[in-house]
């Protein structure tokens, strides 16, 4: 067995500040829920390489939330910075064992549980968006819709967040485009507050335009690959084979971060394992490999 490792100048590593945006809503506003995720992705593209804006939605991690769901939700809420609550006619389905942190009601809905949790923890950046568009129900849906509406109204009254409230960035919207615009402007302010820098608000593009940009970027990337493929390899500072840990001195690496690549091969040069280590200091110790 042999170990191959080298310090690579080609890909500097940047430590990012992550801003987590937790999206809370029942399933009657799934369209707005998807829009909230898109807005976070757009702002992530504009926030700079040192900032990551990430939407947190339980459906993106269905298995982890299914197993020990309450603990996983609590952890996600604790690790989030901004909270977006979207409501219309429903408060959601009751979850056995969930207890409201404010009302102390038992067997509350998942949406109610999450809202009460962040309000009880006095989270500052909480924004409520209420959809006002009229919704028509069939004869088979009326009973359940009425029950959900009553449940929602009672809950909003319990937490003192009825219509017209000035608490928690209370906002109303009728159409999805209006929701997108309001959410984006609010998130920009919050992100600028945390990063202490201005970010340019991106213009929403259609999916076809986004696909075109991705295609152009892929072509440019492939062109750069062809350009550098035939050139020398100035990126390798050190390459050495050994079975012992070594110390790599990088006199040029004062404030930059570099990647140290470790590859373990067998005697026939087959790769058994590989890993990239991050190091900010000009001095890096390769961890000892287990033969």
Displacement of CA 277 from its chain's centroid (Å): 23
pLDDT tens digits for range 109-140: 999 999 999 999 998 899 999 999 999 999 99
Which carries the bigger pLDDT value, residue 138 or residue 1? 138
**Both ends of the chain: CA-CA distance in Å?**
7
DSSP 8-state secondary structure symbol assigned to residue 109: B
- Mean pLDDT over each residue of the chain, to the nearest integer: 75
Helices (H), 67-131: 69-78, 110-120
Sign of CA dihedral 94, 100, 103, 104: positive
* Closest to 155 measured CA to CA, from 71, 89, 75: 89
Which carries the bigger pLDDT value, residue 217 or residue 242? 217
Instruction: For residue 178, give the H/E element and its range.
Output: helix 176-195
Integer Cα distance of 271 and 192 in angstroms: 45
Q: Write down the pLDDT at residue 49.
A: 83
Query: Is pLDDT above 70 for 250?
Result: no
Integer Cα distance of 192 and 275 in angstroms: 35
262 pLDDT band, cuts 50/70/90, is: low
* Closest to 150 measured CA to CA, from 98, 86, 87, 91: 91
Q: What are phi and psi of 284, to 5 degrees?
A: -135, 135
Integer Cα distance of 181 and 179 in angstroms: 5
Average the pLDDT over 192-220 and give the result: 70
Instruction: For residue 101, give the H/E element and its range.
Output: none
Average the pLDDT over 24-31 and give the result: 95
Least confidently predicted of 56-60, 71-75, 204-208 = 204-208
Q: Write down the pLDDT at residue 228.
A: 45
pLDDT tens digits for range 74-84: 888 999 999 99
Integer Cα distance of 55 and 241 in angstroms: 43
Q: Which residues pair with 284 in a beta bridge?
A: 248
Sign of CA dihedral 95, 98, 102, 105: positive
Q: Write down the pLDDT at residue 184.
A: 95
DSSP 8-state secondary structure symbol assigned to residue 99: B
Query: Is pLDDT above 50 for 241?
Result: no
CB contact at 8 A, 2 and 10:
no
DSSP 8-state secondary structure symbol assigned to residue 278: E
Which carries the bigger pLDDT value, residue 285 or residue 117? 117
Q: Write down the pLDDT at residue 72.
A: 83
30 pLDDT band, cuts 50/70/90, is: very high
């Amino acid at each position: 067995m042999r170990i191959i490792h080298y310090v690579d100048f080609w890909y500097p590593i940047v430590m990012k500040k992550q801003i987590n945006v937790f999206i809370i809503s029942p399933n009657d506003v799934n369209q707005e829920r998807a829009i909230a995720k898109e807005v976070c992705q757009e702002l992530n593209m504009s926030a700079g390489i040192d900032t990551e804006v990430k939407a947190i939605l339980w459906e993106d991690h269905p298995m982890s939330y299914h197993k020990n769901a309450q603990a996983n939700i609590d952890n996600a809420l604790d690790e989030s910075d901004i909270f977006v609550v979207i409501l219309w006619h429903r408060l959601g389905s009751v979850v056995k064992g969930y207890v409201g942190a404010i009302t102390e009601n038992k067997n509350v809905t998942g949406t109610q549980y999450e809202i009460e949790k962040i309000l009880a923890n006095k989270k500052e950046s909480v924004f409520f968006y209420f959809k006002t568009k009229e919704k028509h129900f069939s004869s088979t849906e009326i009973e359940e819709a009425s029950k959900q509406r009553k449940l929602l109204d009672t809950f909003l009254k319990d937490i003192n967040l009825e219509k017209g409230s000035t608490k928690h960035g209370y906002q109303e919207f009728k159409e999805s485009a209006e929701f997108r615009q309001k959410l984006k402007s609010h998130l920009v302010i919050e992100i600028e507050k945390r990063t202490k820098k201005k970010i340019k608000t991106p213009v929403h593009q259609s999916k076809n335009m986004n696909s075109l940009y991705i295609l152009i970027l892929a072509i440019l990337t492939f062109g750069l690959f062809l350009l550098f493929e035939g050139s020398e390899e100035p990126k390798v500072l050190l390459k050495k084979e050994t079975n012992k840990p070594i110390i790599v001195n990088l006199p040029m690496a004062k404030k930059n971060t570099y990647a140290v690549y470790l590859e373990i091969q067998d005697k026939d040069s087959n790769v058994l394992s590989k890993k990239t280590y991050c190091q900010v200091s000009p001095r890096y110790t390769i961890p000892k490999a287990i033969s």
